[in-house]
Amino acid sequence: MISKKLETAINEQINAELYSAYLYLSMSAYFKSVNLNGFANWMRMQEQEEQIHAMKFFDYLSERGGRIILKEIKSPRSDWKNPLDVFENVYSHEQKVTGLINDLVDMAIEENDHATSNFLQWYVEEQVEEESSADEIVENLKLLDDSRNGLFMFDRELGKRTPAQTEE
């Protein structure tokens, strides 16, 4: 049985993961509106990955005897200046999510909940990957500067991203 404190915190994290999915879907819509379909694809794949993350928390909380309480998901931002602005926001958002995961790990340790601490280690590792991926794209976009040809090629590259496999 999971503690009420961790139950509440994991419910909050489910909401945060669903918000992340909603944010990335909004970013995909923005990219579609400016005809950057590869960027839009990358964001759709990211949105799907965030849904998987939310459901992993959902299933875990249920398995531990916790009660799942879904809350309202706030509206995400819907407009950006350019692709660099979008991905700087992605990087910043992923850093925030890393902080939320770290807080959950600290809480699990404080609650002496070894199962939850172990479960969260997957997310700790995942956030390293998420931040690295976003930072790499930010740095690549900075290198492109105002190159339309470079942006076109990068859009095609990001369009090759395929759906994430369900991670266990």
DSSP state letter for 34: T
Residue 9 lies in a domain: yes
Question: Could you tell me the end-to-end alpha-carbon distance of the chain, in angstroms, rounded to an integer?
Answer: 21
166 has a pLDDT exceeding 60 = no
Contact at 8 Å (CB) between 27 and 86?
Answer: yes
> pLDDT tens digits for 17-72?
999 999 999 999 999 999 999 999 999 999 999 999 999 999 999 999 999 999 99
**5 within 8 A of 111, measured Cβ to Cβ:** yes
- The answer as to whether 167 is a domain residue is no
Q: What is the pLDDT of residues 72-99, one digit of tens each?
A: 999 999 999 999 999 999 999 999 999 9
82 DSSP assignment: S
In angstroms, the Cα distances linking 64 to 67, 102, 116, 132, 167 are: 9, 20, 9, 31, 19
Task: Provide the CATH number for the domain around residue 88.
Answer: 1.20.1260.10
Domain assignment present for 163: no
The CA distances from residue 97 to 41, 124, 153, in Å, are 22, 10, 30
Predicted TM-score of the model (pTM): 0.94
Residue 27 maps to a domain: yes
Name the domain count of the chain.
Answer: 1
